[in-house]
Structure 1
Amino acid sequence: MRSIGKHSVLIIGSFLMIIPFLWMVLTSFKTYGESMQVPPTILPSEWNFNNYVSVFQSVDFLQYYINTLIVTVGRTLGQLFLCSLAAFAFARLEFPGKNIIFLLILSVLMVPLQVILIPNFGIITQFGWVDTFYALIIPGVFSAFGVFLLRQFFMGIPKELDDAAKIDGCSYFGIYWRIILPNATPALTALGIFTILAAWNDFLWPLVMTNSEGMRVLSVGISNFQGQYSTDYPLLMAGAVLSTIPMLLMFIFLQKYLLAGIALGGVRR
């Protein structure tokens, strides 16, 4: 009986979570009149695929996709490399002030982006990076959360492997590259997925840092569908569905690596 109650709660919770997604998909196939109908209809009377064609005709949606892909790949590769290097130093090396520096890095997690948005914008302006990929990628190539996640995992890898590598003449970077990284695939995959999701869905930073239409990313470009007095909701939902599909497919195929990375990285000391 207890398991039945737990499963019932989980089923209800899953249903409540999936309702907005289903509503988005169904609305993308409706006409504008159907989307504004009161009381609202659940299923469209006619499945209208013109909204998906109009998405590419109304704005340069393909360019949004390309820009988002470039930003996502750049941030992900940068975080995997830099965060793993920092995590290796905090997990395997001894140097003065290591714990203090690590605590300072973790303190970044307590500062919301909105608090440092204006100072960051001033720095990017002085560099002349506004409306460029530099502004969209470089500030996101390091993550305090990524350092914490990978450090916890690296500390669980036996240090005897390091000693054996040193005997064979391996340098610290060789230990990092040949010993630590191959044994940290689940944690690296989890961090990669988290970074991809964050970069793909990022809205505030690209909105502030880009001016031209050619530098817009998906999250900002879709917001352009919203009108001043009325919004074409089927067109807006069609754009949202198209932007969601890559992330949905990624989670479907990589969910076992994500869950393994969370489980392993969360219990390491």
Structure 2
Amino acid sequence: MTAASITPAAGAKSPSADIPFNKKPVSPAKIIGTVIGYVAMIAIAAFTLLPFIWMLLASVKPNNEVFMVPFKWLPSVWHFENYINIWTKSDMLLWVGNTVFFAIIVTFLQVFTGSFAAYGFSRIKFAGRNALFLVYIATMAVPWQSYMIPQFKMLSSWGLVDTRWSIVLLQAFGAFGVFMMKQFYDTIPEELAEAARLDGLSEFGIYSRIVLPLSGPSIAALGIITFTNTWNDYMGPLIYLRSQNLQTIQLGLKTFISQFNADYAMIMTGSVLSILPILVVFLIGQKQFIEGIATSGMKG
């Protein structure tokens, strides 16, 4: 084949000329709609983030500038030492340690019990399975305040009040985790489990060696939700924990506020420190969280 045979003839169109680059016109209404959509999203994001930005800036302001009138965003003097002083003025290390302990233990137990129960409801056929699942899921509609007192009396009779076990048992099981994980397990082809059973694998083996490895995004989503709820829990520790050495960061900050009720900058510093772990956990697992939420709602 000669060079002349592959060279376009004079006046002929180049093949690239037939590629429709931006040939479809965009209507002005669509452009305006897109611009309005982005402006609305930016406004909503700003409205959501402004309180956190204010809290962050207030934590490094002089105390008399936190609620200054007229309002002032940036401090005249940056007091970054507040983030050091709070560790010496309070039991922040103890509070954080207790909260991390509860958050990790409860998250592990909820993920394990939720995924394990969800596997039974999704893959194991037994009489009354659907009815039992509906009854169990219906408990999510029952407010905690309605059974808070009987629950307290039960744990108190067992001698678990003012112990770590009270918080662990209080939150280690949840219907939401079962519901969420079952939604995901229903999307896994049953053929995988059938093939594993033919190879002699037990139900627990199928759960641990096949189903769990496929459940990464959903487990990450459930883990982030559980970790956040446990970290932010105030009522549970307030009711069950009385000793100073068992206080979580939420109870500790309440005590700190009562002691330093005029030191607003230091209070803002403690509030910032209380949300930083949640922010870090979410930023690390946001991709898996979004994917897990999306896949848990799929069917078929």
Q: TM-score, normalised by structure 2?
A: 0.86
Counterpart residue type for residue 193 of structure 1: I
2:26 paired residue number: none
2:223 paired residue number: 192
Q: CA deviation at 1:231?
A: 3.8
Q: Determine if contact 1:83/1:142 at 8 Å carries over to the other structure.
A: yes
1:29 paired residue number: 60
1:94 equivalenced with 2:125 (yes/no): yes
Q: Percentage identity across aligned positions?
A: 38
Q: CA deviation at 1:239?
A: 0.7
1:145 equivalenced with 2:165 (yes/no): no
Q: What does residue range 58-137 of structure 1 map to in structure 2 within 5 Å? A: 58-137=89-168
Counterpart residue type for residue 245 of structure 1: L
Equivalent in 49, 61, 64 of residue 18 of structure 1: 49
Instruction: Specify whether residues 230 and 200 from structure 1 end up closer, same or farther in structure 2 by C-alpha distance, changes over 3 A only.
Output: closer
1:47 equivalenced with 2:106 (yes/no): no
Deviation string 1:47-103 (CA, Å, 9 cap, x unpaired) is: 112322232122211011110011011101101111111100110011111111111
CA RMSD of aligned residues (A): 1.4
> In 1, distance between residues paired with 2:89 and 2:175?
39
Deviates more, 1:149-158 or 1:120-129: 120-129
1:166 equivalenced with 2:197 (yes/no): yes
> In 1, distance between residues paired with 2:221 and 2:268?
29
Q: Determine if contact 1:78/1:142 at 8 Å carries over to the other structure.
A: yes
> In 2, distance between residues paired with 1:159 and 1:244?
41
Unaligned runs of 5+ in 2: 1-31
1:255 equivalenced with 2:286 (yes/no): yes
Q: Determine if contact 2:260/2:267 at 8 Å carries over to the other structure.
A: no
Deviation string 1:195-253 (CA, Å, 9 cap, x unpaired) is: 11111111111111111111000111111122389442211110111121111111112
> In 2, distance between residues paired with 1:229 and 1:221?
12
Instruction: Specify whether residues 51 and 228 from structure 1 end up closer, same or farther in structure 2 by C-alpha distance, changes over 3 A only.
Output: closer
How many residues matched?
269
Q: CA deviation at 1:152?
A: 0.6
Q: TM-score, normalised by structure 1?
A: 0.96
User: Which of the pair has the greater relative contact order for Cα pairs under 8 Å at 6+ separation?
Assistant: 1
Counterpart residue type for residue 164 of structure 1: A
Q: CA deviation at 1:105?
A: 1.2
Equivalent in 228, 233, 237 of residue 206 of structure 1: 237
Counterpart residue type for residue 137 of structure 1: V
Runs of 4+ in 1 over 6 A off after TM superposition: none
Deviation string 1:174-204 (CA, Å, 9 cap, x unpaired) is: 1111111111111111101111111111111
Q: CA deviation at 1:122?
A: 1.0
1:3 equivalenced with 2:42 (yes/no): no
Counterpart residue type for residue 166 of structure 2: A
Q: CA deviation at 1:127?
A: 1.2
Instruction: Specify whether residues 254 and 228 from structure 1 end up closer, same or farther in structure 2 by C-alpha distance, changes over 3 A only.
Output: closer
Which secondary structure does the structure 1 equivalent of 2:146 belong to?
coil
Unaligned runs of 5+ in 1: none
Q: Determine if contact 1:34/1:41 at 8 Å carries over to the other structure.
A: yes
2:8 paired residue number: none
